Structure formats: structure tokens, C-alpha cells
Structure 1
Amino acid sequence: MMIVNKILVIDDEEHMCWALEKGLRQEGYQVITATRGKQGLELIRIEVPSLVILDLKMPDMDGLEVLAKAKELIPYLPVIMITAHGTIDTAIEAMKLGATDYITKPFDLDELKLVVKQAIMVSHLQEEVTFLRTELNKKYGRIVGNSPAIQEVCALIEKVADSNATVLITGESGTGKEVTALSIHQLSSRREKPFLPINCAALPEALLESELFGHEKGAFTGAVARKLGRFELANHGTLFLDEITEMPLSMQVKLLRVLQERQFERVGGTDSIKVDVRVIAATNRDPLECIRKGTFREDLFYRLNVLPIHLPPLRERKEDIPMLVMHFLEKFSPSQGQLISPEAMGLLLTYEWPGNIRELQNVIERAVILSQGYEIKPHHLPKEIQKTPANRCENQQGLIINFPDQGISLEEVEKELILKAIEKSNGNQTKAAQLLGITRSALIYRAQKYQIKL
């Protein structure tokens, strides 16, 4: 079905409304009109137009006032102002208040049609970008967990997000350093600008310099055209330098200069290029140990370590494992409502996770594939996790289950776990399901199976 864009024309001159309505309808737009500012605002509330064409001078309410109130109703609503020759300064003021564009009277109708077409196109692109960014954030840019350790990290992220100071994220491999950097970017005023990551250990020195600072045509063999580096491409946004302690010492000197002076030259170039980039760095090594070994510059460390964030390993926040498991199940099996058995969850809670969250993610993805949509059982997990001692399971709350010699009823254990989760959550089904690492619908099914009243 074709979506017809709705345009609202607000102008106190009825013949102008008529002319614009006729001309825009010929382009396939649905057009509604208002001859008063207050009437126009009411139509914005009711009709939610795709675009507004607004006259600057009206008797009941000034066009700038209408613009301001329209932006309060729909912040991203495109508004094109119509102004007379003598009020260009006012039109510029309208642009500062959020107007998309302005045209002056008398104007050519074809010119207006072009401005309208471009404004609607840009608006649709912005909506798509916002939607895609939201969807990506749901899957990849969200820190998952309720443990005190991770909540402390989240609180710190919120505090440092809107600063322009550099951030140094430390933590073992797989603890979520890039997700943390992305979260900082998304909470900052730079969120609409680029977030560009680069792994400093993945490229040799010559290529790393070109990737960071760009190069001019002919700077070296194979440089057939000018290339913009990550610092230029990330202007007004965020540059994430992963594995910063692996950067060669000669490159560390150049990076330090950029951080201090906010300018650089492309490889083979002489012109200084100024940039406004927020730098976030990360490492899985101890920076102070690298300084002692002479592989990392002390002055660069202090320049980066303005706002330090340390990520705890997963073995120190095991209470977050059920929530992380549900997050990855939703990611890898969003339409199947994948379940995981209490026995499998018990093994995941007991395992020490040397690869941290990245290892857990890979384990869940593998289990989803092997289980083929059915409940994930212990045999769907890797051998090293299955080898976790089976006669003793200890979680972060100190619960210990000793396996008796005469055996035990698995159904009775499962029923008892469900009862304990319901009691722990004060009857909140969603929270109880999270505590058990299952979905709410799975909790309801199991409760009915054991005749447990929710």
C-alpha cells in the first residue's frame, strides 16, 4: 500500500492556501489548510502531518510562536517557513528554532515543490535511521545485568556520557568493552554523529596510521586516491580505540599530539586538519604493567585515563547470567520463545567463564542451533561446561544442592525452584521468570504442570 504524505498549509491568505493546495495535490500529496495559527496547531495535534508550510506573519499568532509550539508537539516535524523579502532576519531566527527551510515571497511553485520533496525525503531518512539505531541498540548497544557491580558501571556511564573527556575502559577480553563505549556514545550529545571503532592490534603500523589519519594521493605505493581517516570520519562523533596498549610506540606519540592539539595531518599531507572527536580507548591488559615494560607511554596513559571505567569479569557477577541468557536467547531465537532447562542453567551458573560474556554468547548461539527450537538441555552445552561437578551447584546467593546417594526427583527440584522464585519475587511473574532464566510463558506453563498457583 502506498503511503500518501500529508501536508498542512498554515497561511492567513485564503488564496495562498488554495493555490498551494492545488499545486501540491498535483504532486500526489494530501493537503489540509488553516488560516489561523491556533487552528493550525489543532490540526497538527489531530492530523499529525508529514510536513507543515507556515507563513511567518499571521494576525492571531506569530509564525515563530506557532513554530515553537509545533516543535513541542512533534519535535521532528519538518516545517518550511514562508517569509516576505523584508523579514529574512526573522526567517533565520526561525531556522534556529528548528525550521527545516524557508522560501521568500513571491516564490516559484516548482521551487516550493522541490523544497517540500527534499524535506520529506530527509525526514523519512531520519525516521529510518532512528528506527535502525533503536533496533541495533536493542540487540548490541545495551548493557544487561542487575548485579551491584554492573549497576555501578551503568551509573558511571551516565555520569561521564555527556563529557568530552577521554575514557579508558579496562577489563578482561569478552567483558563488553565495545558495548560500554557504544553506550557512552548513545547517551551523549554526540549520539546522532558517527561511532567508529578500530582495533589497534589488528593492523600493522603503516596501515594503522592511514586508517586513523587518512592519506593523500601518492603518499605511498598503492595510494591512488585521497583517503579520509577515522578521525575525520568521526568528526563531532566518537572514536573507539580498542586494544590501545597494542599500538606501536611511534603511533602513540602521534595519537598523543592529536589528543592534545585536536589536529593532525594526513599521511603525505602538509595541511593541518582540526577535528572535534570524543576518544574512548580500551584494553584487556594492565596499562601500568605495560608502562613498566616500556610498551605503553605513561603520558598517553594519563591523557586517556581521565575517566576510567573497569568492567568486572562474568565470574564476579554470576547473578547476571540468567538475564544475559534470556537476552541472547531473544537475540538468536526471537520468534521461537526458546527455553532453557533448570539443569542447563545450573551448569551455566557454576561454570567460571574464562571468555566472559563473549563466551556465554557463543555458547547460547550454539545451543539454540543444536536444540533446534526445543528446550536447551545440558547435552546441548559444550563438553567443558557439562563437566562442571554435577553433585554440587552453588549460586551467588549461597544456595547449595547436595546430591543424595539414593537419588532425587528432578521434578520435585524444579517445582521447589519455581516456588522459591515466586516467593523471592513477591509473586511478580516476570521477575520470577528472570530469576529462573526462563520466559514468563514458560513459567506459567511449568506452574500449571505442577499445579502451582501464580
Structure 2
Amino acid sequence: MNTEAPLKLCLLEDDPIMGESLCDRFELEGFRCDWYKTAHAAQPYIGNTDYAALISDIQLPDMSGAELYTQLQQEGRTIPPTLFITGFGSISDAVELLKRGAADYITKPFDLDTLVEKVRSVCRRPLREERTDEPTLGISAAMRSLEQTLCRVSEHGSTVLITGESGVGKEHAARFLHHCAARTGKSPFIAVNCGAIPEGLMEAELFGYEKGAFSGAIRTRRGVFEQADGGTLFLDEIGDMPPNMQVRLLRVIQERQVVRVGGETPLPLDLQLVCATHRDLKQMVGEGTFREDLYYRINVVHIKIPPLRERREDILWFTRLFLNEIDPENERHLLPSAEQRLLQQPWPGNLRELRHSIERACVLSAEPAISAATFDAETDHNPPTLDDPDLRERISLYERQIILESLRRHGFQMSETASELGISRKNLWEKMKKFGIEKG
């Protein structure tokens, strides 16, 4: 005999027929349900009663569910995992509430079985704010909050737009989102830099092609959308996508299916789409260089990553992370003077610039202890000339290390590595041959 007490639910629903129907169903499923028709009626009990979940309509007669949620947060109440019921026109409000801490939402009309399944899931879920795992996007309050938002968004598969200056870590954030969403341990993460693909090749790269679709198409090839099916597709620098490709991308997002170049069969897609840019897409829409309908399609959830200069507490955390990656034997360390110098820098190139500075310091420093002088050399107005054989050797070592690190990051995929380094595949092959790097 099961003596475990039933879980208690708090239901906010002003419609008497809907409220009674939901209460009856929840109790049939083994829950206890307290039903309130207004926010004011429920407010004294939320946080003071042991509710396993709060289920609230977004539209209530005395205040909106969003206003109630905000008030409870401002009062410092312990809010149970919250699921909002919303009409189609309020989906954007529900998504905003997810970013602020809500657990889930469901749109009207809905199937009762689906609602019950969501409620059971919400009741089992620990609050995201209670996560104790190590930070992966930084230790600043801004980045910890961003992690929480990404985790919540990952549960819904909504299209995400990540913006921020070059080098702030947009791809890193996309990978974090993918990790949170991870449907299986083998779900793919495919990253594509739209600005690095020649316009003439972009259609085939994104959507794939059938054998014989054009001269040189000697076999069928899957595009990146198909490759990312079941996982995450990250389209970086979406603002660089030419207008004709914007039209095709819009159709793929709307229809959730892709047709290869030269093909006729639509192929269904099930993936998380994440787009990113350092450009102002809203301004581009106004200028007519970016489609307005596409902008709203990819901007369902907007994540803005602040520049490194606005979260200086992350600088030394990332410095140690980069040092561990570059020097896994832990032979190098920074002197306090070097750390202070890093904290004083404006870092216009953000994390990318910081990492390159750490790599350069590891190569150029003759001692295990890296001093501030090593970083001062970056702004030296009278640097050694290239006639210095010592300098040439160090530069070659530095270049080889950067190429090797990039190859390893991308699993020795030539196209992705060349794209990250800003060089052609041919140039990459030549450099690998020059530095004696064999393809892994």
C-alpha cells in the first residue's frame, strides 16, 4: 500500500469550466489541487504552502500571470516550479517568463494528457537556481544568469538568436545550450560561419545536393541542416547571409524541412537552430539588407552576451582556463603583476583576444612564471625585426600551435578549421605541410 502523501498543486484559472475540469483531472491523476480564480486569492498561499507546482493562466482577471510572478520574485517568495497556460498571442510573454525562471508553458488549445505529462515533469524537476555544477560560461553574475536562461530555453527547442561583439563567446554559449538540450549523448552540434562560405557554394553547403544536380556533383551530399538533425545547428554571422539565401533559410525554418539542391523530396528536420551575429540586425532590417520576416523567425529568444570589459571578474577565470588548455602540464603560471595587467586591458577582441594573448605569452616567455612584461611586449613600439632568427622561430612555433589547437577543436575538419583561422583550405594544407602537422 502506498502511504506517500499526494503532491499538491496550485491552479490559477478564472474560467469556471476549465478550472473544474483541470482540478478533476489532476485529482484523478493522484494530485491534490488548490484552485484559485484570481491572483490575489492565491498570493498569500504561494511560498507559504508546500506546493509541488504552480499552474497559472497568463491572463487573469485582476492581474496577469506575469505580473503575479514578478511580484512573488520581488517579495523573495520561494516560488514552486511554474507552468503557464497561454494563448497563441501570449507566447512571447511565456518565453520571457521562462527567461526569468518559469519552468514551462503550454498553449491553448491543449490536450489534457500533454498537460498532465508536463505537470509531472515540472514536479520532478529541481529548480535551476539550485544548480551547483561548475560554471562553464564564466563566474560573473551576468554569465551565471545567462546559463540559467539557456538551460530553460533548451527544454523548448525555440530558435535562439545570440548577439554580442566579436569574440565574446557566442559559439561557446551555443555549445552550452546544446549540452543542456542533449537529447542523446551522440546528438550532433554543427557550427557554420555564414561569412566564410562563398556565396556560390552556400546553398549546397547549407541544404546539400543530389548527385548530378550540377557539374561536379558526382555524389549525393547532405547539407549542414541534415547533418545537424537530432541535434543543434549553429549559424554564426547570420548577418552576412546574402538575400537569396535568407529567403531559403526562412522557408526551411517555417516548414521544418529541407529540399536538397537538385532534389524534390522534402526531408523533415528535428533540430535546435541557434543563430548569432555581431551586427545590429534591427538596423539592417531598416536598411533593407536583412529580411524582417526572417529576423522575427530567428529572434524568438534573444540572448545578448556582454563584452568582457563589462564582466571583468571573468578575465582571470578564463585566463586560468586557457592556461590549462594551452599548457596541460601546468608548467606556466601568471605572476600577480601579469594578472593585474590583464585586468587593466580593455579587450576589444574579448575572449578571442584574451586567448591569443595567453597563447602568445606561453610561447614568448622564457620562464615558467609569466610576468607583466610579456604582455607589455604586445604594445611595444620598437619590437624586434623579422631578421631576428630567434623571433622567426618563435613566431613559427606560435603559428603552428594555433593551427594545431584549431584543428583539434574541430576534430581535424579542414573546412571548419580554415574558416576559424580565416584562411583557405589550400593555405591550411600548405601550412600543415610546412609545420609537419599530419591530419588526425
TM-score, normalization by structure 2: 0.54
Distance 1:386 1:325, change over 3 A: farther
**Structure 2 counterpart of 1:293:** 287
Name which of 322, 328, 339 aligns with 1:334: 328
**Structure 1 counterpart of 2:162:** 169
Name which of 156, 160, 164 aligns with 2:153: 160
Residue 160 of structure 1 and its aligned partner are, at CA, apart by: 0.9
Distance 1:259 1:321, change over 3 A: same
CA distance, structure 2, for counterparts of residue 166 and residue 280 of structure 1 = 6
CA distance, structure 1, for counterparts of residue 197 and residue 233 of structure 2 = 16
Give the alignment of 1:430-449 within 5 angstroms: none
Distance 1:157 1:376, change over 3 A: same
Residue 277 of structure 1 and its aligned partner are, at CA, apart by: 1.5
Tell me the amino acid that sits aligned with residue 197 of structure 1: A
**Structure 2 counterpart of 1:230:** 224
Name which of 338, 343, 358 aligns with 1:364: 358
CA distance, structure 1, for counterparts of residue 141 and residue 177 of structure 2 = 19
Residue 372 of structure 1 and its aligned partner are, at CA, apart by: 4.3
Contact 1:379 1:386 in 2 (8 A): no
Contact 1:347 1:385 in 2 (8 A): no
**Structure 2 counterpart of 1:187:** 180
Alignment root-mean-square deviation, CA? 2.0
Whether 2:205 is the aligned partner of 1:211: answer: yes
CA distance, structure 2, for counterparts of residue 236 and residue 142 of structure 1 = 26
Residue 379 of structure 1 and its aligned partner are, at CA, apart by: 2.1
Residue 252 of structure 1 and its aligned partner are, at CA, apart by: 0.7
CA distance, structure 1, for counterparts of residue 348 and residue 284 of structure 2 = 22
**Structure 2 counterpart of 1:421:** none
**Structure 2 counterpart of 1:221:** 215
CA distance, structure 1, for counterparts of residue 258 and residue 138 of structure 2 = 40
Distance 1:191 1:324, change over 3 A: farther
**Structure 2 counterpart of 1:52:** none
**Structure 2 counterpart of 1:252:** 246
**Structure 1 counterpart of 2:57:** none
Contact 2:338 2:371 in 1 (8 A): yes
Q: Counterpart of 2:303 in 1: which secondary structure? A: strand
Give the alignment of 1:35-434 within 5 angstroms: 143-192=136-185, 193-372=187-366, 374-384=368-378
CA distance, structure 2, for counterparts of residue 170 and residue 382 of structure 1 = 31
How many matched pairs?
Answer: 248
CA distance, structure 2, for counterparts of residue 337 and residue 323 of structure 1 = 18
Q: Counterpart of 1:281 in 2: which secondary structure? A: strand
Contact 1:351 1:385 in 2 (8 A): no
Contact 2:160 2:303 in 1 (8 A): yes
**Structure 1 counterpart of 2:38:** none
Contiguous gaps of at least 5 residues in structure 2: 1-132, 382-440
**What's the CA shift string for 1:54-111, capped at 9, x where partnerless?**
xxxxxxxxxxxxxxxxxxxxxxxxxxxxxxxxxxxxxxxxxxxxxxxxxxxxxxxxxx
**What's the CA shift string for 1:18-47, capped at 9, x where partnerless?**
xxxxxxxxxxxxxxxxxxxxxxxxxxxxxx
Contact 2:239 2:277 in 1 (8 A): yes
Residue 272 of structure 1 and its aligned partner are, at CA, apart by: 1.3
Contact 1:144 1:323 in 2 (8 A): no
Tell me the amino acid that sits aligned with residue 359 of structure 2: E
Contact 1:363 1:382 in 2 (8 A): no
Tell me the amino acid that sits aligned with residue 273 of structure 2: V
Contact 2:162 2:304 in 1 (8 A): yes
**What's the CA shift string for 1:298-327, capped at 9, x where partnerless?**
111111111110000001011211111111
Residue 190 of structure 1 and its aligned partner are, at CA, apart by: 2.8
Residue 153 of structure 1 and its aligned partner are, at CA, apart by: 1.2
CA distance, structure 2, for counterparts of residue 322 and residue 259 of structure 1 = 40
Residue 382 of structure 1 and its aligned partner are, at CA, apart by: 5.0
Contact 2:135 2:144 in 1 (8 A): no
Tell me the amino acid that sits aligned with residue 316 of structure 1: E
Tell me the amino acid that sits aligned with residue 164 of structure 2: G
Structure 1 window deviating more from structure 2 (333-342 vs 179-188): it is: 333-342
Distance 1:185 1:172, change over 3 A: same
Residue 204 of structure 1 and its aligned partner are, at CA, apart by: 2.0
**What's the CA shift string for 1:185-208, capped at 9, x where partnerless?**
011133531100111111122311
CA distance, structure 1, for counterparts of residue 236 and residue 332 of structure 2 = 33
Q: Counterpart of 2:342 in 1: which secondary structure? A: helix
Residue 289 of structure 1 and its aligned partner are, at CA, apart by: 1.0
CA distance, structure 2, for counterparts of residue 175 and residue 294 of structure 1 = 27
Structure 1 window deviating more from structure 2 (372-381 vs 241-250): it is: 372-381
Residue 373 of structure 1 and its aligned partner are, at CA, apart by: 5.3
